Structure 1
Amino acid sequence: MEREQKVREWLKGVYDPELGVNVVDLGLIYEIQAEEGETLIRMTLTTPGCPLHDTIIGGVRRALEDKPEVGTVKVEVVWEPSWTPERMTPEAKEQLGAL
């Protein structure tokens, strides 16, 4: 399994505490760049004023920091493109009753 896919799988263990859905299935992870010694996660949140910003970003860091193949973890929060419910996987939509 390539490094980016491993990182994506590990990030499925990070949940939005309010919604109870992982950040990958919510569609919050926009990009993963996993190179030797460093992993960059480019992601967003459901709203710019999300009160759980630090909790979710900290969860992403903690999910990866103990993995030797990840190296240094950098998390960049971006707002473009804006998150919309269409970014969610079918599983997340079903879990939230959006289908």
Structure 2
Amino acid sequence: MMSYKEKVIEGTEKYWNMLKEVADPEFPISVVDMGLIRGIEKRNNSLTVTMTFTSTGCGCMDWIENDVRERLLQAEEIESVEIKVTWDPAWTINDMTEEGKNKMKYWGVSS
């Protein structure tokens, strides 16, 4: 599985770092460390974020999408954020960063 740093397209590192500040509402882990962000593309003053969720029944999808959009719109140069949700490939624990996995262990969610 590709680490999130390997997914960073030149010129988007700032936005990945901004999303490290957006926590999953159910766990104190960023959406980046959860492995929910699949990619970020920047065109002019617009960002397209490709993301997934842990399940199709995730009750927090709207909240997470809104939090991602609101955080990225705080960048002065960004005027719009489009979010594309993908289910292929399906999210697995292997999508998490090592930091995310360690936080889950700390909180007793996994071993």
TM-score of Structure 1 vs Structure 2, range by shorter chain? over 0.9
TM-score, length-scaled by structure 2: 0.83
TM-score, length-scaled by structure 1: 0.92
Helix, strand or coil at the partner of 2:39:
strand
Distance in 2 (CA, whole Å) between partners of 1:35 and 1:69 is: 11
Distance in 2 (CA, whole Å) between partners of 1:89 and 1:18 is: 17
Aligned position for 2:63: 55
Greater strand content: 1
Aligned position for 1:10: 18
C-alpha displacement of 1:82 = 0.5
C-alpha displacement of 1:70 = 2.4
1:70 aligned onto 2:69 = no
1:41 aligned onto 2:44 = no
1:82 aligned onto 2:97 = no
Distance in 2 (CA, whole Å) between partners of 1:78 and 1:45 is: 8
Q: Is this contact kept in 2: 1:34–1:70, CA < 8 A?
A: no
5+ residue gaps, structure 2: 1-9
Count of residues in Structure 1 that have an aligned counterpart in Structure 2:
98
Distance in 1 (CA, whole Å) between partners of 2:14 and 2:78 is: 10
C-alpha displacement of 1:69 = 2.1
Distance in 2 (CA, whole Å) between partners of 1:32 and 1:48 is: 21
Helix, strand or coil at the partner of 1:39:
strand
What is the CA deviation profile of residues 8-63 of structure 1, one whole-angstrom value per residue up to 9, with x for unaligned ones? 00001111111221000111000100121210000001111100111100000010
Q: CA RMSD in A?
A: 1.2
Residue identity over aligned pairs, in percent, reads 37
Distance in 1 (CA, whole Å) between partners of 2:96 and 2:30 is: 10
C-alpha displacement of 1:77 = 1.0
